[in-house]
Amino acid sequence: MHGACDPGLALVGEEFARGFDERGELGAAVAVHLNGRLVVDLWAGLADPVERRPWQESTIAHAWNA
């Protein structure tokens, strides 16, 4: 796993890691902004499992906003 997570949101990082450790996630990223500040920015796994290309900080992904 790469990136950073504010200490107060450590559970977000732990749950993200569990997706790989326990749920078989292949590759993913998560970013959370709170009050205009980036508080979670994590990525891990493979961006392309066929070519074994690792997920990078700049890997393009689908995004949803709630």
| Rounded Cα gap, residues 61 and 57, in angstroms | 11
Sorted by where each begins, the domain ranges of the chain are: 2-54
CA 26 to chain centre: 11
Facing residues of 12 across strands? none
Q: What is the pLDDT of residue 53?
A: 95
C-alpha to C-alpha distances, 16 to 21, 29, 36, nearest whole angstrom: 9, 9, 22
This prediction's pTM? 0.86
Q: Does residue 12 have a pLDDT over 90?
A: yes
Q: Does residue 62 have a pLDDT over 80?
A: no
- 66 against 38, higher pLDDT: 38
